[in-house]
Amino acid sequence: MSSDQQWYLFGYDMRQLGRHWLAAWRDLFRGLDSPLRRHFDEVVLLEQAGELRAYQSGEPLPAGEAPDSSCRGVCLPADIVLHKRLTLPRAAESDLPTALAIEVAASSPFTPDDTAWGWRLAGRGEQSLAIDLAITARSAAMAFLGREYDSHDAAAQEVWAAVPDGMAVLAGFGEGRREALYRRRLGRVGIMAAACLLVLLALAGVYAGGKHLELARVAALAEERSRAAGDVTELREAIADANRQLLSAREIVARYPSPHRELARLTQLLGDDAWVAHFSADGGDLRIRGRAADAAAVMQTLSSDPAYAEVTAPQPISRVGNSGEEQFYLDLRVGEGAAP
């Protein structure tokens, strides 16, 4: 592979990408068939064979529509204009003015200083471009303007030439005024578009700022709710811990009944005929030692009480001297559902 071929991709010279890119932007803003020019180009009032008709971007406006315009033009008669149809490859579109200048220099019968020319894009194919080229002598054009319109200033009006299916603007006459107006109008439109873009960016910034503030408020609210939830969680944990302690206390109370309660129960059950000299408690197991006139009756009374699940005598009942009292030793097991 040669050094030149390595720069080609799908038939395009990659070294010319910059030129093609610039040419595309130039055609968008300044091309004769540019969509921007169709909308923003100044209207030209063209006089041809005594008739006045309005043109915009090289195309005639509907009949009867002739808006006021400061741009005037004159169409040269066909007998002083040379026409030639060119077929150029699409690759020449990026540097079309240079290619046409070369063709004019080769085809014009007039001297370079006396040659005026213009062109119109007649068609665009997949591989080629059709160009209508119009060439005239500048001296012949000025003689026609002086004779027919008493105009001796080349810049006073535009000069056009009729080509098949359209018009071609000849360069070097009064088209500069229209180009200046077009550039000025395009600049105003660009400024308006930039202003609209800035307004949109400002609105987007305001919207983004509002959303940022709203997000900050939501974040602050979420943090506050998180702190509140943390306080609630701590309170819930404290309540759960208190419940656990309460359950533990209840278990302890259930496992180790209150001796005061049991002493009160015994006082109520035994009455005045018996008394307790010794009392000890180990959880629900009680041991009492006391005296009574009838110790068996005491044991029977305690056994019949539902508060005690079991009543036993670890030692036999014995009489205490001549006191008429009997000494008893009793082991009591408190029932699980004993009421106070």
**Shared-domain flag, residues 290 and 168:** no
Q: What is the pLDDT of residues 294-313, one digit of tens each?
A: 888 888 888 888 888 898 98
**Shared-domain flag, residues 73 and 119:** yes
Give domain status of residue 9, yes or no. no
Cβ atoms of 324 and 293 within 8 Å: the answer is yes
Cα–Cα distance measured from residue 68 to residue 62, given in angstroms and rounded to the nearest whole number: 15
**Shared-domain flag, residues 67 and 164:** yes
Q: What is the pLDDT of residues 26-75, one digit of tens each?
A: 555 555 666 677 777 888 899 988 888 888 878 888 876 657 778 899 99
**Shared-domain flag, residues 145 and 206:** no
Task: Give the chain's domain count.
Answer: 3
- Residues in CB range of 204: below 8 A, 6 or more apart: none
Q: pTM of this prediction?
A: 0.55
**Shared-domain flag, residues 117 and 209:** no
Least-confidence region, from 25-29, 282-286, 311-315: 25-29
Residue carrying the six token digits 């990408």: 17
Confidence of residue 94 (pLDDT cuts 50, 70, 90): confident
Is pLDDT above 70 for 103? yes
pLDDT of residue 3: 53
Q: What is the pLDDT of residues 188-220, one digit of tens each?
A: 888 999 999 999 999 999 999 999 999 999 999
Q: What is the pLDDT of residues 76-86, one digit of tens each?
A: 999 999 999 99
Question: Of 173, 207, 224, which one is at a domain's C-terminal end?
Answer: 173
pLDDT of residue 65: 60
Give domain status of residue 24, yes or no. no
Confidence of residue 144 (pLDDT cuts 50, 70, 90): very high
**Shared-domain flag, residues 307 and 325:** yes
Residue 170, burial from CB neighbour count under 10 angstroms (0-12, 13-18, 19+): buried
CATH code at 318?
A: 3.30.1360.100
**Shared-domain flag, residues 108 and 179:** no
Question: Of 145, 173, 201, which one is at a domain's C-terminal end?
Answer: 173
**Shared-domain flag, residues 115 and 144:** yes
**Shared-domain flag, residues 210 and 135:** no
Give domain status of residue 25, yes or no. no
pLDDT of residue 140: 95
Cα–Cα distance measured from residue 194 to residue 137, given in angstroms and rounded to the nearest whole number: 44
Cα–Cα distance measured from residue 316 to residue 240, given in angstroms and rounded to the nearest whole number: 51
Region 318-340: what's the mean pLDDT? 80
Q: What are 7's two structure tokens?
A: 């720069």
Give domain status of residue 42, yes or no. yes
pLDDT of residue 305: 87
**Shared-domain flag, residues 80 and 64:** yes
Question: What pairing do the DSSP bridges indicate for beta strands 44-48 and 71-76?
Answer: parallel
Cβ atoms of 133 and 87 within 8 Å: the answer is no
Q: Is the pLDDT higher at 230 or at 108? A: 108
Confidence of residue 105 (pLDDT cuts 50, 70, 90): very high
Question: Of 226, 254, 282, which one is at a domain's C-terminal end?
Answer: 254
Give domain status of residue 77, yes or no. yes
Percentage of residues in the chain with pLDDT exceeding 90? 29
pLDDT of residue 183: 84
What is the domain extent for residue 41? Answer: 31-173
Is pLDDT above 60 for 271? yes
Give domain status of residue 79, yes or no. yes
Give domain status of residue 6, yes or no. no
**Shared-domain flag, residues 131 and 209:** no
Cα–Cα distance measured from residue 285 to residue 256, given in angstroms and rounded to the nearest whole number: 9
**Shared-domain flag, residues 223 and 329:** no
Could you report how far apart the first and last alpha carbons of the chain are, in Å?
112
Give domain status of residue 15, yes or no. no
